[in-house]
Amino acid sequence: MFSMFQVITCRAAVAWEAGKPLVIEEIEVAPPKTGEVRIKVVATGICHTDSYTLSGSDPEGVFPVVLGHEGAGIVESVGEGVTKFHPGDTVIPLYIPQCGECKFCKNPKTNLCQKIRGVLPDGTSRFSCKGKSLFHFMGCSTFSEYTVVADISLAKVDPRAPLDRVCLLGCGISTGYGAALNTAKVESGSTCAVFGLGALGLAAIMGCKAAGAARIIGVDINADKFKVAKEFGATDVVNPKDHSKPIEEVLVEMTDGGVDYSFECVGNVGIMRAALEACHKGWGTSVIIGVAAAGQEISTRPFQLVTGRTWKGTAFGGYKSVDSVPKLVGDYMNKKLKVDEFVTDTLPFEKITEGFDLMHAGKWSNGFRCQV
């Protein structure tokens, strides 16, 4: 048992350099300072965003760093001034904080927070290894047995919730699901198209179904994903490789003029354009969920927008994080939200690099978690 307010020595998967594999190291985790919480991480998911930063493609990526932003754990200790959390609380770290005080938090039109920094509030680190300071990642750093986060970047959830499942609500599931319900505001009886049938896409399908969409078309070049997409609620599936026409033209023909809502869940600017142009003239809305590589720009003919289509983006599905994540966990516990079905592999923490290998090889399409 560790004592509060002492340095903890534990394992972490450290990214020492861009483009190099993670290394399991013994690191030191300092006690939480004012407004901070130290957490024992129980489980973490692996997200493409982690891989994106590790690859060196992220212009804001810094090294050495402890990656990971899809985790769940137990509060070990709290810093001065923290009143909403106590040792023993079950929590999920949040990459989008909710301070409740800034102009963003007070505006119901957005879920962003002015205090998004990706580091701890004072700009310093609580991680060190071999005498070197390690950077935090997205305010979470869940690729460690212990982490320190700001109290505004943390949600207290039902203690009965299985942490090796609900950790996935820290990013992908919430993002895709909320994109349909909050950002697009999909209407009952509508027709939707979801481009990319990984975790984000499946969650978007789930959101469209929950909203009462009458037709949900899943689009992917990997036909192996179609069976699962249908289990999540897709009514139709389309492989662009099976058609000589551009996919947007295929969808326009399939739907008598275009879909009411489309979702880009890949992070490819070409697909973003296709998703927009697959929308119906006059009212179609396309939501960008995937994150494109640095330096990429989106484009379309202005006429596409002049004639009534809307292009939107979303972060964390539009959810106000602190307020919403406990409710999402509650929906899962009450069997209103699929989470278990997203887990395709489970590995012990020391094999986390194998998880990245599986992801890069396309061996899993839903979600992935590591027991810490």
Least confident window among 47-51, 143-147, 302-306, 326-330: 47-51
In the block, residue with structure tokens 């300071």: 133
**What mean pLDDT do residues 84-110 have?**
97
Burial of 68 (0-12, 13-18, 19+ CB in 10 A): buried
Quote the CA–CA distance of 64 and 49 in Å, as a whole number: 16
Boundaries of every domain in the chain? 93-117+164-371
Percent of the chain predicted with pLDDT > 70: 95
The confidence score (pLDDT) of residue 113 equals 96
In the block, residue with structure tokens 């809307």: 310
pLDDT single digits (tens) 221-279: 999 999 999 999 999 999 999 999 999 999 999 999 999 999 999 999 999 999 999 99
Q: How far apart are the first and last CA of the chain?
A: 16
The confidence score (pLDDT) of residue 118 equals 66
* Among candidate residues 280, 272, 277, the one with its CA nearest the CA of residue 313: 272
The confidence score (pLDDT) of residue 362 equals 64
pLDDT single digits (tens) 286-325: 999 998 887 899 999 999 999 999 999 999 999 999 999 9
- Output the average pLDDT for the chain: 94
Strands (DSSP E) contained in the chain are 8-15, 23-29, 36-45, 65-66, 71-78, 90-93, 127-129, 132-134, 146-150, 154-156, 191-195, 215-219, 236-238, 261-264, 285-288, 310-313, 343-348, 367-371
Question: What confidence tier does 2 reach under pLDDT thresholds 50, 70, 90?
Answer: very low
The confidence score (pLDDT) of residue 344 equals 85
**What mean pLDDT do residues 89-93 have?**
98
The confidence score (pLDDT) of residue 60 equals 85
The confidence score (pLDDT) of residue 209 equals 98
For the packed helices 247-254 and 269-277, what is the interaxial angle rounded to 10 degrees?
Answer: 20
Least confident window among 54-63, 131-140, 204-213, 270-279: 54-63
Question: Does residue 208 contact residue 180 with C-beta atoms inside 8 Å?
Answer: yes
Q: Is the pLDDT of residue 4 over 70?
A: no
The confidence score (pLDDT) of residue 294 equals 79
* Among candidate residues 150, 127, 155, the one with its CA nearest the CA of residue 138: 150
The confidence score (pLDDT) of residue 120 equals 85
* Among candidate residues 19, 33, 221, 9, the one with its CA nearest the CA of residue 121: 33
Domain range 93-117+164-371, CATH architecture: 3-Layer(aba) Sandwich (3.40)
Strands (DSSP E) contained in 161-270 are 191-195, 215-219, 236-238, 261-264
Least confident window among 54-58, 174-178, 231-235, 270-274: 54-58
Q: Is the pLDDT of residue 365 over 50?
A: no
Burial of 244 (0-12, 13-18, 19+ CB in 10 A): exposed
**What mean pLDDT do residues 17-33 have?**
96
The confidence score (pLDDT) of residue 119 equals 73
Q: Is the pLDDT of residue 106 over 90?
A: yes
